[in-house]
Amino acid sequence: MTQVMNPSKNIKADDPVRKLTLTALFMAMNIVMSSSILSVPVPGGHMYLNDVVIVTAAILLDPVHAALAGGIGAFIGDMLFYPAPMFVSLVVHGLQAFVISLFVHKIMPKRPEAASVIGSVAGLVITVTGYTLGRAFIYSTPEYAVAKFPFQILQTLVGSALALLLCWKCGIVNLFRRFTN
């Protein structure tokens, strides 16, 4: 006899299998968004849209799982498509996601919308600083890092703005809460 599960009886949000699955899902989306196919060409390279996924994951997941999704996802994406900055991406995007999530879930949990905006600004500073220093180190030329500086700001701003719109104006947060509670 087959047992039918009750769909209204959800697994709790603190279920480790659910956390691992959601983290892996955001990692996979991060990898896909790190590809050149989904990027916008800019002078000296491409502008990637993986910041949308990283910031969304940071708003929805706890700090540790957000850091894993952001850092490891960006690392694998770079490893597959453009390996030179993969370790920079691991650290920078992992830290970016961790800080945003920290604001949303620990520092200002009663005001998550404001916390996600403040966290995204902190994440922008982390990302732009980290990639500027990382590029200067990897390519041994500060000029290349400075040339990419405005596009790094643009990439992080666009990614954060889209993620904030998706989460708070398009209802992703509400869908996520219904799914996990």
What does the CA dihedral 156, 59, 18, 32 come to, rounded to 10 degrees? -20
Burial (CB count <10 Å: 0-12, 13-18, 19+), residue 69: buried
Q: How many separate domains does the chain show?
A: 1
Is 109 among the domain residues?
A: yes
**Does residue 66 belong to any structural domain of this protein?**
yes
pLDDT value at residue 26: 98
Amino acid symbol at 1:
M
Determine the Cα–Cα distance for residues 9 and 6; give it in Å rounded to an integer.
6
Domain that holds residue 51: 16-180
What are 41's strand-pairing partners? 46
pLDDT tens for each residue of the chain, 181 residues long: 444 333 334 445 578 898 999 999 999 999 999 887 888 888 767 889 999 999 999 999 999 999 999 999 999 999 998 899 999 999 999 999 999 999 999 999 999 999 999 999 999 999 999 999 998 888 878 887 888 888 899 999 999 999 999 999 999 999 999 888 7
CATH code for the domain of 176? 1.10.1760.20
